[in-house]
Amino acid sequence: MVYEKSIEFAVKMDQEDPLKDYRDKFYIPQVNGKDSIYFTGNSLGLQPKNVNKYVNEELNGWATLGVEGHFHSNKRPWFEYHKYSKEALAKIVGANPSEVVSMNSLTTNLHLLMASFYRPTKERFKILIEGGAFPSDQYAVESQIKLHGFDYEEALVEVFPKEGQSTLDLDDFTSAIEQHGDSLALVLIGGIQYYTGQFFPIKEITAAAHKAGAMMGLDLAHAVGNVPLSLHDDGVDFAAWCSYKYLNSGPGGVSGIFVNDKHGLNPDTPRMSGWWGHDEGERFLMEKGFKPMPGADGWQLSNVNILSSAVHLASLEIYEEVGMDALRTKSLKLTGFMEYLLQDVEGIDIITPSKPEERGCQLSLEAKRNGKEAFKKLTEAGVIADWREPNAIRVAPVPLYNTYQDVYRFYEILKEAIG
């Protein structure tokens, strides 16, 4: 696409944007009485306006039906609430509906999934992650290794970029997997690296992990609802994600998991079990002997957090309307426009890959000078972005609610702020 460096071009692009009306479906935070330039959907997505409707329906059901709302709610009986998000989530992550379920929180789900898919032996016990992974992954992996009685330094394999590079190449992963293949039990990486914004080649890394005899897992916190995913076809064994970033489902919103049917439809797959994962036809018999629900549902522990899940359904309703293809099309143009403009700004380096297929909405900008001072000026000027130590400003123009004019205004403010 041919971009132009002008506000007139941004206005024209907004006018021609087929998704332009969706911005009005969200509340935009105000700064100094004006709409902010909100570029932190990679940390917390904005609130959809239909949330009140969905939550109030459940509050009303609770008020009028009490416990009977589990089975007799007018809209969505609570007993089956986890089922209502399946179709939408399956489309978003590229899975069968049986392979996904919304439940718990992200790190809780990572632990539950590692209980099933990190089954170390004396010979095969190592876990491979990307260097500088998000703390959720680092701490969960560390505790799992120690829980099984292995030496953390020996069992952890971290993959870092080559000297002089900010991001990882495919061969960084494949060579490390081959090097540790005989002792590797699990590869667990982010779908998108939170600091650099790099979208990893999931299919190729999965193939390398399986060739080495290891399981393949993903933390999709920064990828779900952001980039196209095909977890089933790529052969991924398991994945977990949060819903409060690109899925706009509220602070601390309900998480979700993917379990490949080759594992989920096998009742003998080991797991930590709870009563909501038990055969729903016998759940209220309260008898001994766990019989897992087929698919990812068999990893549920407790009954659904209805109010949090209602927010989730409100956002997924919008995703169902728009579809990931349309979101990805606008995302590529919007982020491409930002990259085009920022190449003119001295004092920053864009460390996110320039190839569109290797990134999502986020661009990570490393400040060569005055980083924190510039970030403070951005904030004062109405830009809500994200600072990450030691010197990165992360910005994410989200196609559901950000505009080309947002991007151009940010460019002008940053150029002045960075000095």
CA 285 → CA 69, 81, 278, distances in Å? Answer: 19, 20, 11
Closest alpha carbon to 394 in 368, 416, 369, 367:
367
Which CA distances in Å does 119 have to 28, 142, 182?
45, 14, 14
CATH architecture of 7-35+324-418: Alpha-Beta Complex (3.90)
Helix and strand numbers, DSSP H then E, in the chain: 15, 15
387 DSSP β-pair partners = 393
222-271, pLDDT tens digit by residue?
A: 999 999 999 999 999 999 999 999 999 999 999 999 999 999 999 999 99
Tokens of 286: 């309260």
**How many degrees, rounded to 5, is the angle at CA 118 between CA 172 and CA 208?**
30
Over residues 354-372, mean pLDDT? 94
Domain ranges of the chain: 7-35+324-418, 56-320
pTM of the model: 0.97
Class of CATH domain 56-320: alpha beta
pLDDT in tens, 156-186: 999 999 999 999 999 999 999 999 999 999 9
- The residues near 286 (Cβ < 8 Å, ≥ 6 apart) are none
Please say if the pLDDT value at position 356 is more than 90: yes
Angle at 351 between CA 347 and CA 352, to 5 degrees: 135
pLDDT at 72: 86
- pLDDT(419) > 90: no
414: closest CA among 399, 393, 389, 391?
Answer: 393
Q: What is the mean pLDDT of residues 198-215?
A: 98
Question: Looking at residue 330, what is its pLDDT?
Answer: 98
User: Per-residue pLDDT for 113 more than 80?
Assistant: yes
For the chain, how many residues are written?
419
324-342 vs 7-16: helix axis angle to the nearest 10? 180
The predicted pLDDT at position 118 comes to 98
Task: Output the pLDDT for position 75.
Answer: 84
pLDDT-derived band of residue 357, with 50, 70 and 90 as boundaries? very high
pLDDT score at 370: 83
Q: What is the pLDDT of residue 369?
A: 82
- For the stretch 47-91, pLDDT in tens is 999 999 999 999 999 999 999 999 987 689 999 999 999 999 999
Cα separation, 205 vs 171, in Å, equals 9
The token duo for 349 is 């380096």
